[in-house]
A and B are shown apart, each in its own frame.
Chain A
């Protein structure tokens, strides 16, 4: 495990050195747009054929069924967030997520229920992409990944590393292991169902769903990471024609 982690970390760093450089928080840096658009088309097809129909099924299910699945998936993701908390030096986040994991695993029957929320122990959402950001790694270019969706070069590496650094696999019984990816997949479907019409409006109602997905992802991700977005607070009365989001 440690060896695997080292290999992942080293190859990730090598990849990041090669990352396309752009000033932090600059609107859109998308040198791979042609390829990204093809991947986007594939992803929309995947959503139309599989994810959206499946999510309509889960959206029609009662909360008593979908709730525990979501809770379980979120709980098993916590140890990975705890590792990232340590790597970021975020002791408070690590503490909250650890407490949350203990409370929900023990009193929430293996994480099926979420008593931690009730006592104000909310998840401190984080991932390895954020760890890289804390470490000063630049965002890199915008990329759309097959099946995984919008990302940046930095976050793509983060997703890969997150796949390996969740220590939970070492702690659980072999019988439980198959449930971990299954719960994660189910959680994706359920989340798609909850955000149903919002995602539909972006993917199927906008004039250019690729461009909409890109700007929404970047805005939201930069907000999560606390990246200062240049020109987010431009005064429209001073120069209403200035376009901060012009393609670079």
Chain B
């Protein structure tokens, strides 16, 4: 199973690279892997710490801030509506999005307690370097978690993650879009809803 998945994903990435032939990145796979090694080390420390849920989520927020390009992820999640947001709305949205994502994904990573994440391989993709890792949990089949690293911000940061192919950016774009629809496009309403979560 594991080897088949890897082979398929590699094919998918190779094919994607062929579709976007302009990919020329300064970031090396080695640099990206170093970043993910550190990131995964920190996540493993948190899930092994035995802390309370609230304390773990606060740790995950710090990790998210350190390793991810939060503003670019937030902006991508808001999509075209970012353009009409005022500077103040943009700042407040990024802040609200940061704690929303940290708490949501923190709760998911918290389910990895007793397990660990192992970095496996890295490959160049059209928007950076994808570093693949396996989450190995007790009593469950291992599954793939992969991080997309880019130095577009000037420093290597993760800009997306995939859990068994599930794309964080697109799933959050869907969620933020639905929340905005519920508020009939009112960005201030969206921000206060995010803060309330």
Q: Which residues from chain A contact B164 at a C-beta distance below 8 Å?
A: 220, 223-224
* Nearest CB on A from B33, distance (A): 18
The 8 Å CB contact of B140, one of A194, A197, A223, is A194
Q: Which residues from chain B contact A207 at a C-beta distance below 8 Å?
A: 175, 178-179, 181-182
Count A-B pairs with CB separation below 8 Å. 127
Q: Are B8 and A226 in contact (CB-based, < 8 A)?
A: yes
Q: Are A198 and B108 in contact (CB-based, < 8 A)?
A: yes
Q: Which residues from chain A contact B130 at a C-beta distance below 8 Å?
A: 233
Q: Which residues from chain A contact B159 at a C-beta distance below 8 Å?
A: 236
Interface string of A221-234 (1 = CB under 8 A from B): 11111111110111
Number of contacting residues on B, CB 8 A?
53
Q: Are A232 and B150 in contact (CB-based, < 8 A)?
A: no
Q: Are B12 and A198 in contact (CB-based, < 8 A)?
A: no
Within the assembled complex, what's the spacing in Å between the Cα atoms of A233 and B20? 9
Q: Which of B38-89 contact A (CB under 8 A)?
A: 72-73, 75-76, 79-80, 82-83
* Nearest CB on B from A215, distance (A): 5
The 8 Å CB contact of A227, one of B4, B12, B166, is B12
Q: Are B141 and A122 in contact (CB-based, < 8 A)?
A: yes
Q: Which residues from chain B contact A241 at a C-beta distance below 8 Å?
A: 79-80, 82-83
Q: Are B173 and A226 in contact (CB-based, < 8 A)?
A: no
Within the assembled complex, what's the spacing in Å between the Cα atoms of A50 and B17? 45
* Nearest CB on B from A26, distance (A): 13
Q: Are B8 and A236 in contact (CB-based, < 8 A)?
A: no
Task: Give 10 pairs: A residue, B residue, CB < 8 Å, sorted on A.
Answer: A92-B4, A215-B170, A225-B8, A233-B16, A233-B127, A233-B130, A236-B159, A237-B153, A241-B83, A243-B80
